Structure 1
Amino acid sequence: MRVLLRAVKQIYRQPLCNAASRKRSIASSSEGSGLLQPRHEKLIFCSTAELFQELGGNVEVRTEFISEEEESAFMKELEQGLRKKRYEFDHWDDAIHGYRETERDRWGAMCTGVLERLRTVAFPKGSTLLGPVHVLDLDKAGYIKPHIDSVKFCGSTIAGLSLLSDSIMRLVKEDDAAQWLDLLLPRRSLYILRDQARYEFTHEILRDEDSVFDGERVPRQRRISVICRNLPS
């Protein structure tokens, strides 16, 4: 999926949230999901409590959205095709470094079930999804630079599964780089960006050496994301 890079000047400093706002920034697991390890209890870390309240339900992380067995099923279906490709370090609009990608519209029974579950929880009822599912394979040394997906091709919602590794997604207000959120995306989690978070904030996946969440190092390995988007209304 082609993305439109919109570069922003990054400002990363100690968050301004006080203790109360930090408590509000703890995102709970989805219903029926497993519990996180202690270091993963907080999933959204913001520059201000006001920003967190403003975005509300437009940013969501659901932990343990898929099981180890389901993750293995995705990898079994994807690995054969991905290993035929080389990691690239020159994306067409310079948005991604160290990646392989593919699209897939046919899946086995287990993966189909997961994707149906994803569509149910992430997208408005009746939404038409964009073409084949986009699969992005980031090398350990790879990363995604700040960008906003083209509004010409993508609708109000983006949802992605995170396979193989924990990672950090950073959202930055396009016209005010002092307003930002860091999302901790644990392995086998689902992230969802909707509406304002989708149109007004760039998003990126931090490179391994910059992968720090609330002052704590989050080592990043090879990461595969399985991404669904809806069409513009």
Structure 2
Amino acid sequence: MLNRAELSAVMSVYRSVRVGMVLGLGLVWRTVRQCEGRAGLRAVSGSAAVQGLRAGEHSWLCGSTAAVLHTVQGRVEVRQNFITEEEENALLQELEPGLKKKRYEFDHWDDAIHGYRETERAQWGSVCTGLLSRVRGVAFPEGSPLLGPVHVLDLDKAGYIKPHVDSVKFCGSTIAGLSLLSDSVMRLVLEDNSAEWVDLLLSRRSLYILRDEARFKFTHEILKDADSYFLGQRVPRQRRISVICRNLPV
């Protein structure tokens, strides 16, 4: 049986621990709100965002938990400055004449894209042929059957790509895309648990690669300009062209 003095000491310790827990939870929630960027983005339930697989490992990657980052380890990749400014210009010189003949569409056959125009291209000049060979060389396993035409998606400044999973009937295990004209944020959300998410910072002239589980167990989207934040930092979205290579289903 505790005497009065011992009981008082125990209660004092309990109050200190309780205050510490409240302050700690408050710090976690503030960190969550910073990574959300805005209240309109998905809430991160129960934990702060984690950057990289270890502190500071990837400046282009953050997620809701360490567990979800381990899930996508080796299955998501962003290579910054994969092409030069001159190579970007070479791509634009080939693409702009055809794109200018099209109008931006603000609906889509499966409601996946808003504010876009698109095309496919099989023939390229020598500079673009070389850089697309470089994309395929780093993104796809040697001997992997590739989808012949390259998909080109032009998003208006007001455009965005809604959460979706590509059809397995038309796409293989890997997708690789060059980002032209603008930085943007790609968000992956686990289909079975929407509280688990990963954000990729796609800087201008970078190459992103999604493989296997990152392709088929997560939705992916390009955030609209109003929601374009990465780790609490604004990432202004301008007009964005993506040049996308895919392999064929096996």
TM-score range, shorter chain: 0.7 to 0.9
Match of 2:144 among 108, 112, 127: 127
For 2:52 and 2:149, the matched residues in 1 are separated by 42
For 1:185 and 1:91, the matched residues in 2 are separated by 23
What is the CA-CA distance between 1:19 and the residue it aligns to? 7.7
Match of 2:42 among 11, 18, 26: 11
Aligned to 1:66: 83
What SS does structure 2 have at the residue aligned with 1:117?
helix
What is the CA-CA distance between 1:11 and the residue it aligns to? 2.9
Pairing of 1:1-233 with structure 2 (within 5 A): 11-13=42-44, 16-17=48-49, 23=55, 26-27=57-58, 42-233=59-250
What is the CA-CA distance between 1:108 and the residue it aligns to? 0.5
Aligned Cα RMSD in Å?
A: 1.6
Give the partner amino acid of 1:186.
Answer: S
Percent identity between the aligned chains?
A: 69
For 2:225 and 2:49, the matched residues in 1 are separated by 25
Judging by fraction of residues, say which structure has more helix: 2
Say if 1:112 and 1:13 are closer, same or farther in 2 by CA, change over 3 A. Answer: same
Gaps of 5+ in 1: 1-9, 28-41
What is the CA-CA distance between 1:12 and the residue it aligns to? 3.0
Query: Does the 8 Å CA contact 2:52/2:62 hold for their aligned counterparts?
Result: no
Say if 1:87 and 1:19 are closer, same or farther in 2 by CA, change over 3 A. Answer: closer
For 2:51 and 2:79, the matched residues in 1 are separated by 23
For 1:229 and 1:46, the matched residues in 2 are separated by 25
Aligned to 2:10: none
Give the partner amino acid of 1:11.
Answer: R
Aligned to 1:35: none
Query: Does the 8 Å CA contact 1:128/1:231 hold for their aligned counterparts?
Result: yes
Gaps of 5+ in 2: 1-40
For 2:240 and 2:180, the matched residues in 1 are separated by 6
What is the CA-CA distance between 1:23 and the residue it aligns to? 1.2
Aligned residues: 209
